[in-house]
Amino acid sequence: MMDVIEIKRDWAKIKRQQTTRFLNKRYYGLWPRLAIWGVALAVLVGGMQIVDHLLPNRYQQRNWLAAMAPIYFAFLAMTILNGIWKKRLLREISQAPLRRKNRSVFLSKYGVSDFGPPHENELIWDYITEVVPYRNLVLLLLSPVEYIPLQMDGLPDGMTRKSLLEQIEKWRNTSTIDDPA
């Protein structure tokens, strides 16, 4: 058993967008995405019905698609643009000078010391809500979507993911619960 585990972190190797998408899907599930597209389809069909009944036949001639398709495609275009803008923003965040320097995360029985960009934290184990293995990472969750990444290729010699997870679990189980009062 080690008293302190140092895990080196290389931000260039961490795919933050994919990790954030994984955590969002894990938290929200599939239903919100289906609900949004279902509402969009209901608005399209309902709008076509309303347009058909409100406009006289001489103007509309039951041409629902010509009336409602532009609104639907505008919604679709805004959704795509929002995705592109979000991807660009995440790329800019990950390329910031703050995140170019590689640092180490230190784990001990007292908690997590993360003194490298973008975090400057010293956290007790009670603040870690969950430990989630994901691809080549172990994510220490601070909330459902905020995390401190631990890279498996930055582990000390001889340590495996399994032994790391066992050690973290042991430290988390012996940690004292914060008293919110």
Average pLDDT over residues 81-104: 79
Q: In whole angstroms, how large is the CA radius of gyration of the chain?
A: 24
pLDDT digits (tens, 9 = 90+) for 12-54: 788 887 888 888 888 887 787 788 878 878 887 787 777 667 7
Q: Distance between CA 56 and CA 54 in Å, rounded?
A: 7
Q: Distance between CA 152 and CA 62 in Å, rounded?
A: 61
| Full set of structural domains in the chain with CATH | 4-11+102-174 (2.30.29), 19-94 (no CATH)
Q: Distance between CA 126 and CA 172 in Å, rounded?
A: 7
Residue with the bigger pLDDT between 115 and 24: it is 24
Query: Going by C-beta distance under 8 Å and a sequence separation of 6 or more, which residues neighbour residue 155?
Result: 5, 7, 161, 164
Q: Distance between CA 171 and CA 124 in Å, rounded?
A: 10
> If you write DSSP's letter for every residue of 57-82 in order, what string do you get?
HHHHTT-HHHHHHHHHHHHHHHHHHH
Query: Going by C-beta distance under 8 Å and a sequence separation of 6 or more, which residues neighbour residue 104?
Result: 6, 7, 8, 9, 116, 154
**pTM for the full predicted model:** 0.68
User: Which run of H or of E encompasses 8?
Assistant: strand 4-9
pLDDT attached to residue 62: 58
Q: Distance between CA 181 and CA 175 in Å, rounded?
A: 18
For residue 6, give Cα distances in angstroms to 100, 153, 159.
Answer: 19, 12, 11
Lowest average pLDDT, out of 13-27, 61-75, 110-124, goes to: 61-75
Q: Share the mean pLDDT of the chain.
A: 81
Query: Tokens 């389809």 — which residue?
Result: 41
pLDDT attached to residue 114: 81
Residue with the bigger pLDDT between 17 and 113: it is 113
**In the chain, count of helices (H) and strands (E)?**
5, 7
